[in-house]
A and B are shown apart, each in its own frame.
Chain A
Amino acid sequence: MLVLTRKSDEALRIGNDIKITIVEIKGNQVRLGIEAPAHIAIYREEIYEKVKAENRLSANISLEVFRKIKEIYDKR
């Protein structure tokens, strides 16, 4: 991993079309400004990992479990 030091109001460029600006540093929080093309998705890591973990748990449901889920669903 490339690690570099930036101050408030300084920025980084990733390639030609992504710019990340350090907007504010306060205590243990950093506010970042991100400029990127519209097709670049930007996620908070912990939410991304949560969705990924959920997807993995959900990708191989058996027909047996499906029938169980269907039963629970129908009872609601």
Chain B
Amino acid sequence: MISFHTSRFGTLEVEEDKVINFPYGLVGFANLKRYILMDHRNTPIKWLQAIDHPDVAFLVVEPKTILAEYPIRIDSATRHSLQIEDDDDIAVLLIIRVEEDKIIPNIHGPLVINSRLKIGAQLVLYAENN
């Protein structure tokens, strides 16, 4: 068990194997490499809470819950660094925020997680039209 403090949820205790490691952190948050994913009843929205910073937590959702389609190609470098052997192990999550009652998913920076090994990375996708 590891125990850590969070500003929203107080002190949390989680099993070590629930920790998701982002070896390179998230973009702009390179130093925060350990997160936990917190599910909620009655909503597909989850919290991705940084273990090593009490204030840093992102709201994340599976793309299909917010977008009609979200085709994503996971490049070989990412597959390699996340040690993905089986596509069934891949989980994709989008960070969301709200602006004037509109939910904005960060479509350029999806989180890709090897759910078996609990290793994640934030991709930076190039879109021709954006």
Binding site for B on A (CB under 8 A): 38-41, 43-44, 47-48, 50-63, 65-66, 68-70, 72-74
Contact = CB atoms under 8 A, between A and B. Distances in A.
Residues of A contacting B: mostly? helix
A60 B77 contact: no
Contacts, number: 99
Q: Which of under 10, 10 to 19, 20 to 34, or 35 or more describes the interface residues of B?
A: 35 or more
Given A39-B80, A41-B77, A70-B45, A56 B101 contact: no
Contact of B95 (A41, A50, A58, A68): A58
Contacts of B45: 66, 69-70, 73
A74 to B, nearest CB: 7
A38 B28 contact: no
B57 A61 contact: yes
A59 B109 CA distance: 13
Interface string B9-37: 00000000000000010111100000000
